[in-house]
Every structure is written in C-alpha cells, then in structure tokens.
Amino acid sequence: MKPIYFDNNATTPVRAEVFEAMAPFLAPDGGFGNPSSLHTLGQQAHAAMESSREKVAALLGVADPGEIVFTSCGTEADNMAVIGAAFAHREKGRHLITSAVEHHAVLHACDYLEKEHGFQVTYLPVDRFGRVSPNDLRGALRPDTLLVSIMAANNEMGTIEPIQELGAICRSAGVLFHTDAVQSAGKVPLKLKDCPVDLAAISGHKLYGPKGIGALYIRRGVQLHALLHGGAHEKNRRAGTENVPGAVGLGAACAVALKEMSTDEPRVRKMRDRLETGLMERIPFVFLNGHPTERLGNTTNLTFDAVEGESLVLALDQAGFTLKNDALPGLEVSTGSACASGLLEPSHVLKAIGVPMERIHGSVRFSLGHFNTEADIDTALDIIPKVVDRLRSLSPIWEDRQKEKV
C-alpha cells in the first residue's frame, strides 16, 4: 500500500529525471572523477558541475552561474550566509536582523553568533499571518547592522515575505540582505538578478533533488568568510571535494522545476485549496494558520481545536499502516516543521503569529507536491474528518467545548 504523502515541505522524493541524471556519476564505470583532476575523467566531472551550476542559476534567475556555490544542504547555505557575512564584515558592526519565524538554520546560526562571538541580533516580530513589516525593518536598522536575513517563504505556514520591499530597504541602507529561499525555490518564480537580494540559500531535497546538496547564491562582489578551510574548491568559497552526483541531481531538479513550475504550481494549488476548504467545511473548529493569499500554493497549516496534533499525525499514519488496504491508505502529514516535530516543542512560528499554546498543539501542516493527485484529496476528505471525530470523542477538551455550545 502506497501512503499518501502530504509532507513535501519536509522533503520530496527524487524525480525520475533527477535519478537518471545522477546515475552515471554514481556508477563504478561512470563519471566518478574528481573535478579538480586534470585528466579526462576529472574534467568530465568538472564540466558536469558547471553545467549544473548553470541550471541552478537559471532557476534562481541569476545572470552569472559563478555566483552559485554548492553546499551540503540548505542549513550549510544559511550558515554560510549568516556566519560568513558576520565574520567578513565585523569591522562594519556587530548587529544582525532576522525574524521570529525563520528556520532554525538561520535562528541557531544567529544564536551562535550572539552567544559565542558577541554579535547582537534583533528578531523582528511578524503579524498574525507571519509577515514581517517593512516599517519594523526600517526601525530596527542601525549604523552597525551588517546583515538582514528574512526568509522568502515560511516552511510551516507557507507565508511569503515581502522580499522585494525588505531587500530594497537594506539596499538603500547599504546593508547586506540574505533570504532563505529553501521553500520557495521551485515553487515560485525567483528573479534574483532583478531583486535587491545579496545572498540566497536553497536545498536539493525540497525540490525533488537528492538530500545532501544545497547551494548559496552570492551576488558578485559580496565578501563572505569561508566556513570550511582546505582546498581551493568553489573558488575558495567552500573547501572540500565536490559532491558531483548531488550537484548534478540539484541541477537536474532545478531544470525540471523551471520547465514545469508554471503548470505544476496551479495544479498543486488547486488540490491544496480543495483540501483546505473541504476540511474546513466538513470539520467544525478548524482554523487556518498563515496568510490567506500570500502563501505557497502547496502548503496549508490547520489547527484542529481540541485535537492533539501528534495524535492526529500518528492516527492518520496508522490509518494506512494497520489497515493495509488500498481503500484507506495512510496519510503522511506533519505537525510544525519536520526538524522541530521530533522535539515535541511548540512551534516557534505559530507562537510568533500568536496562536494560543493549546491550539499550537492541535496544528498540523499539509504540504502537497508534484506526485499528489485529486484522488489523494478525495481520500483525505473522507478519512481525516473521521479520524478527527474519533480523536475528539476521546478528548475532555472537546467535551467541554460541546457543553459551552449548549
């Protein structure tokens, strides 16, 4: 039985086209050369890396592939931007600005700079939809601000930040602007060359590429301190023998995304909307977290009042696992972000938009993707109301709600 997968913001399956592109670079008789080697095998690997760099640049809408540096993941790309910029520009000042809803890849990098290196960080609040206010950014800028880092789209709610406006404020203040584009790359068109963005992070496994590969866009002329020290790889910006199959996979994934985004995005958005409105119509006391319109087309984060989110995720998982029946396949969804859900800590993102603690615990993220079908939505609309009903029938909070209604 194939589970229905609604957790594409956590990770995506590798597309067949990507797998095929990577395979020759993993085969024992294939292109396993070291891109730094001068012999033919090495130069083939080098050429494959450069061709992939062009594909990444094309998806991000940057003119010069030399502005793309391959990293091991989105986290490394974010760390390279935040820590690399802080160390390279500390003579300018020791102040950074970010938002309360960033991924931990940015938040914990900022925390490290504060705790271990004496930098100061301002965490901008967000409105109830998760958006940063340009006025708040203007007010937080200081003469010693060296970097602003605001994500392009949020992983938990899908809310899209006003990057163009925020970047323009930074550009006119002469402050570097980084955006974590891990969730938006491949889902929304990015034309970074026309945007006041200096640094942007992406990750392979969020757009149908492999895990273990990411990239950082570094606008020409922007200086960063390297995080890894060793050989002169990636033009001295990131030492270490390159992950050639991974880079080839990321390039192939970017090429597929560029080709299909205009047709795939509306198709996925339509299914997401049907799922969202269908659940809200069928189940009482369901609330949307995130922006109603300025939001990724694949994401919906819903609070099911009086339901424990973890129990809902597990019950839905079990619906498929225990029944082992194609009529009732499992549903893979996620409470909060995958990275945070293992900790059972209330989501910092939902806290930041003001969701009360008891409702945070009843919040679940559905993130759809390329492989979902309308039949998946039909099944979800059939199963989820039943599961929520069952969980609520066991909940003392739900009992109280019923009494309140009488």
Ligand X SMILES: Cc1ncc(COP(=O)(O)O)c(C=O)c1O
Active-site residue set: 339
Stretch that binds ligand X, among 67-75, 171-179, 221-229, 231-239 (CB under 6 A): 67-75
Least distance CB 182 / ligand X (angstroms): 4
Place of tokens 């967000």: 126
Q: Does 339 bind ligand X (CB under 6 A)?
A: yes
Q: Does 151 bind ligand X (CB under 6 A)?
A: yes
Q: Does 182 bind ligand X (CB under 6 A)?
A: yes
Least distance CB 96 / ligand X (angstroms): 17
Closer residue to ligand X (CB): 31 or 245 = 245
Handedness of CA 212, 213, 217, 223 (dihedral sign): positive
Taking residue 221's Cβ as centre, other Cβ atoms within 10 Å add up to 7
Closer residue to ligand X (CB): 203 or 335 = 203
Q: Facing residues of 203 across strands? A: 214
Closer residue to ligand X (CB): 214 or 329 = 214
Least distance CB 115 / ligand X (angstroms): 20
Closer residue to ligand X (CB): 33 or 336 = 336
One of 69, 105, 224, 312 touching ligand X (CB under 6 A): 105
Least distance CB 232 / ligand X (angstroms): 25
Tokens of 203: 């990750």
Least distance CB 183 / ligand X (angstroms): 5
One of 103, 237, 361, 365 touching ligand X (CB under 6 A): 103
Residues 402 and 285: their CA atoms lie apart, in Å, by 11
Stretch that binds ligand X, among 80-88, 175-183, 277-285, 343-351 (CB under 6 A): 175-183
Least distance CB 339 / ligand X (angstroms): 5
Stretch that binds ligand X, among 20-28, 69-77, 226-234, 256-264 (CB under 6 A): 69-77
Stretch that binds ligand X, among 73-81, 245-253, 286-294, 354-362 (CB under 6 A): 73-81
> Measuring CA to CA, which residue among 211, 187, 190, 155 is closest to residue 18?
211
Least distance CB 206 / ligand X (angstroms): 7
Q: HSE, CB side, 13 Å, CA atoms: give it for residue 287.
A: 19
Report how far apart, in Å, the C-alpha atoms of 164 and of each of 74, 159, 176, 255 are: 21, 15, 13, 24
Stretch that binds ligand X, among 70-78, 300-308, 326-334, 347-355 (CB under 6 A): 70-78
One of 44, 79, 155, 289 touching ligand X (CB under 6 A): 155
Number of residues that bind ligand X (CB under 6 A): 15
Q: Residues 86, 137: contact at Cβ < 8 Å?
A: no
Q: Does 180 bind ligand X (CB under 6 A)?
A: yes
E strands present in 186-332: 199-203, 214-218, 286-289, 299-304, 331-332
Taking residue 91's Cβ as centre, other Cβ atoms within 10 Å add up to 7
Task: Using DSSP, state whether 216 is helix, strand or coil.
Answer: strand
One of 73, 175, 253, 360 touching ligand X (CB under 6 A): 73
Closer residue to ligand X (CB): 305 or 332 = 332
Q: Does 379 bind ligand X (CB under 6 A)?
A: no
Q: Does 308 bind ligand X (CB under 6 A)?
A: no
Q: Residues 306, 395: contact at Cβ < 8 Å?
A: yes
Q: For the segment 204-233, give every residue that binds ligand X (CB under 6 A).
A: 214
Report how far apart, in Å, the C-alpha atoms of 205 and of each of 64, 96, 133, 210, 298 are: 23, 28, 30, 5, 16
DSSP per position, 20-78: HHHGGGTSTTSS---TT--SHHHHHHHHHHHHHHHHHHHHHT-S-GGGEEEESSHHHHH
Q: For the segment 1-60, give every residue that binds ligand X (CB under 6 A).
A: none
Least distance CB 22 / ligand X (angstroms): 17
One of 203, 243, 300, 379 touching ligand X (CB under 6 A): 203
Q: What are phi and psi of 340, to 5 degrees?
A: -90, -25
DSSP per position, 66-130: GGEEEESSHHHHHHHHHHHHHHHTTTT-SEEEEETT--HHHHHHHHHHHHHH--EEEEE---TTS
Q: Does 178 bind ligand X (CB under 6 A)?
A: no
Q: Does 74 bind ligand X (CB under 6 A)?
A: yes
Residues forming the site for ligand X (CB under 6 A): 73-75, 78, 103, 105, 151, 155, 180, 182-183, 203, 214, 337, 339
